[in-house]
Amino acid sequence: MKYMLLIWNRPGFMEELTEEERNAIFGEVDVIMKELTESGELVGGDALAHPSQTRTARPAAGGGTEITDGPFVESKEQFAGYLMVDCETPERAAEIAASWPDVKHGFGVLEVRAVMDQAGTEM
Amino acid sequence: MTSPVVEDLLRTLAPQVLGVLVRRHGQFYACEDAVQEALLAAATQWPAQGVPDHPRSWLVTVATRRLTDEWRSERARRDREVAVAVREPAYAAVAPPADEEPPAADDTLKLLFLCCHPALGSSAQVALTLRAVGGLSTAEIARAYLVPEPTMSQRIRRAKQKIEAAGARFVLPSPADRDERLRAVLHVLYLVFNEGYTASSGAELHRAELTGEAIRLTRELRRLLPDDGEAAGLLALMLLTDAHRAARTGPDGELIPLSEQDRDRWDRATIEEGVALVTEALTWSPPGPYQVQAAIAAVHAEAPSAAETDWPQIVALYRVLARIAPNPMVTLNQAAAVAMVDGPRAGLALLAPLDADERTAGHHRLAAVRAHLLELADDRDDARAAYLAAARATTSLPERRYLEVQAARLATDR
C-alpha cells in the first residue's frame, strides 16, 4: 500500500538553528532515507523550494483564471516536501512519519495520506 | 523483445535451474542472482539465435559460469584487501555442469517454501516468489507493482538477506511446520492473483498479467501436491474468479457487481474446469477455506441469472466457512447472502457486531454491504449515507466511483 507523507513545517526554521543542529537534522534524514531505500519501501520524495517562490493558479473573481504570487494557504506551517513510501501497513507508514526530524524536534508535522489505487474489486 | 514462446519456456525453467544450482552449491542468494542473469542472457540471445537443443542445460551452464565469476571477483576483492596472492587454481567446489542432471521434482516446492519464509513480510514474499519461482525480472515485477525498479530490486535483495539471516535451508519444511508454511505459500499466490485480477484494463495491463502468472504457479503447485485439497481449491477459486474478467468492468472501466454482470460474457470453459476441480477435491479432502470459497464461486457460476442463484446453498457454505476460518470479512459476505434468503433485516443484524471489531469497523466493505442491504430494506436515506461512508473509506478509485454512483442514484431517482 502506498502512502504519501506530507511534510508541513515553519518556513525559515532552519535559519534559526546552529550549524551543528542543522547537520544533525540532515544526518537524521540521511539515516531514514538509507533505511527506507534498503528496505525497498522508498518510492520517491522531494523537498520543495521556499514558499515565497510559490505561484498559485486560482479562479478569478470576475470569471476565468488568474495566477497570484504566494501560497494558497496563509498559515504558519507550509507544505515543504513529501516522501512516497510503499509499506505493509498504515501503522508502518505512521511510524516512518513519526521518526522524521521535523516531528521529533517540534519543527512541524507529517500528514500520512493513503494513495488511491487504480485497481478495485466488484462490490 | 522476448517472444512469448521463449518467455514461457524461461519462466518454466527458472525454478528448475535455480533448484539445480542451489542443490549443488547452497548459497541461495548468489545462485538466485546468477540464474536471473542467465535468464536475461537467454531472453536476449535465444530469440535471435534460436533456442538451444538443451535449454535447461544451457541455463545451468551460463548461471554456473556467472556464479564462478562472482566467486572469483569476490575472492579477488578479498585477496586484494589482505594483499595475498592467489595461488590456488580454479574453484574445485564448482563441478563442471552435469548437463543432463534432471531437476528434482520437489525443487520448485522447496523454492516456494523458501520464498514464502515466515521471516518475510507478505510484499517481500510476493516479490521473491515471482522472481525466483516465476522467473520474472525485477523490472517486470516493479512494473506490475507500480514501484520504481530500484525499490523492487532492493526489496528482493533485503528479502534474500533476511532468509539467509534466518538460517533458512533448501529443504522441505518439517511435518510439524508444513501446514502453516503451505498456508503461507497459498496466501502469497492468492495475493498475486488478486493484485492482477483487481487491476482495471488499459493502463494497468502489466498488473493484469499477474493473474495468469498466479494461475500458472498454482497449477504447478497442485501438480506437485496432488494430495492437497487446498491447492486444488485455490486453483479452482482463481479460475472461477478469473472467468468473470470480461464482464466485471464496463466500457469505461467502471466496476460491474456480480449481480449485474452479463453472464454470457463469462468464460464457460474456465468455469467448467474450476467447478470440476473443486467438486473433485471436496469428495476426498477435508474442506479448507479455499475449497469452500471456490464452492461458493461455483454456485454463482452455475446460476443462469442472479435471481436464480441458489442462495440457501451459498448461506450453508458461508456457515461452513465461518466455522473453519472465522473472520469478520467472512461474516460480511455471509450477511449479504443471508439477506437474500431471510431478508435484508436479517443480514443487517449479522453486520451489527462488526462495528465493534477493529478489523472491520470503519472498513469500506462493511459500509458498502450495509448500504446495499439498507437499500434492499427500502431505507433510502440510510443506504445513501452508508454508500457515501464507503466511498470515503475506500482507497480504490474504481470502487469510489461505483459507490458514489450508487449514492447519487438514491439521491435523485425517487
Answer whether residue B86 shows pLDDT above 80: no
One domain for residues B129 and B207: yes
- Mean pLDDT, to the nearest integer, of B44-69? 93
Neighbours of B195 (CB within 10 A): 20
Residue B130 lies in a domain: yes
Q: What is the pLDDT along chain A (123 residues), one digit of tens a residue?
A: 999 999 999 998 888 999 999 999 999 999 999 999 999 999 999 999 999 999 999 999 999 999 999 999 888 999 999 999 999 999 999 999 999 999 999 999 999 999 998 888 877
Q: Is residue B2 part of a domain?
A: no
Q: Do both B289 and B365 map to the same domain?
A: no
Measured between beta carbons, which residues in chain B are less than 8 angstroms from residue A42? 151
pLDDT attached to residue B71: 85
Say if CB B315 and CB B337 are below 8 A apart.
yes
Whether B198 contacts A119, CB under 8 Å = yes
In the sheet that A2-9 helps form, which strands lie side by side, from edge to edge? Answer: A42-47, A78-86, A2-9, A108-114
Whole-number percent of chain B with pLDDT over 90 = 76
B51 near B45, Cβ under 8 Å? no
List CB contacts (< 8 A) between A40 and chain B: 124, 127, 151-159
Helix, strand, or coil (residue B106) = coil
> Which candidate from A1, A44, A120 shows the least CB-CB separation from B399?
A120
Q: What pLDDT sits at residue B90?
A: 36
* Contact yes or no for B354/B366 (Cβ under 8 A): yes
pLDDT at B414 over 70: no
With beta carbons less than 8 A apart as the criterion, state whether A4 and A110 touch: no
Q: How far apart are CA B197 and CA B233, in angstroms?
A: 17
Do B278 and B338 belong to one domain? Answer: no
Kindly state whether residues B318 and B349 are assigned to the same domain. no
Does B190 map to a domain?
Answer: yes
Closest to A44 (Cα-Cα) out of A11, A2, A79, A8: A2
- Does residue A27 fall inside a structural domain? yes
User: What per-residue confidence (pLDDT) applies to A67?
Assistant: 95
Single out the residue of A98, A87, A71 nearest to residue A7, CA to CA.
A98
Polymer length of chain A: 123
Residue B253 placed within a domain: no
Pair (B36, B142) in one structural domain? no
- pLDDT of the residue at A12: 87
pLDDT of B252 above 90: no
Q: To the nearest whole angstrom, how far is the Cα of B262 from the nearest Cα of chain A?
A: 14
- The total of structural domains in chain B comes to 4
Flag whether A107 is in a domain: yes
Residue B8 maps to a domain: no
**Complex-level ipTM:** 0.85
Range of the domain at A24: 1-12+19-49+89-112
Whether the per-residue pLDDT at B201 is higher than 90: the answer is no
Q: Which helix (H) or strand (E) holds A109?
A: strand A108-114
Q: Does residue B5 form part of some domain?
A: no
pLDDT for the residue numbered B88: 33
Inter-chain touch B397–A116, beta carbons under 8 Å? yes
Q: Could you tell me if B306 and B376 lie in one domain?
A: no
pLDDT at B268 over 70: yes
**B47-51, B278-282, B294-298: segment of lowest average pLDDT:** B47-51
Residue A41 belongs to a domain: yes
Within this chain, do residues B341 and B315 fall inside the same structural domain, yes or no?
Answer: no
What local confidence, expressed as pLDDT, does residue B312 receive? 97
Question: Cβ(B293)–Cβ(B334) under 8 Å?
Answer: no
pTM of the model: 0.87
| Residue B87 within a domain | no
Amino acid found at B274:
G
Domain-located, residue A23: yes
Q: Has residue B10 got a pLDDT over 90? A: yes
- Locate all alpha helices (DSSP H) within A39-114, ordered by sequence: 90-99, 101-104
The cell numbers describing B140, all together, are: 517486470
Q: What is the pLDDT of residue B198?
A: 82
Find chain B residues with C-beta within 8 A of A41's C-beta. 151, 155
Name the burial class of residue B170, with classes exposed (0-12), middle (13-18) and buried (19+) by CB atoms within 10 angstroms of its CB.
middle
Question: Which residues sit opposite A7 in a β-bridge?
Answer: A81, A110
Range of the domain at B400: 328-408
Crossing angle for the helix pair A19-38 and A90-99, to the nearest 10 degrees: 160
Mean pLDDT on B254-274: 94
The pLDDT value recorded for residue B4 is 81
Q: Are residues B109 and B221 in the same domain?
A: yes
B174 interfacial to chain A (CB closer than 8 Å) = no
Q: Count of A–B CB contacts within 8 Å? A: 88
Using an 8 Å CB-CB cutoff, list residues of chain A that contact chain B. Answer: 1-2, 37-44, 86, 88, 114-123
Is B231 inside any structural domain?
Answer: no
The tally of domains found in chain A comes to 1
Q: Does B250 touch chain A (CB under 8 A)?
A: no
d(CA B19, CA B60): 10
Q: Which of B94-103, B248-257, B369-378 has the highest mean pLDDT?
A: B369-378
Lowest mean pLDDT among B84-88, B106-110, B175-179, B296-300: B84-88
Tell me whether residue A120 is in a domain.
no
| Mean pLDDT for chain B overall | 89
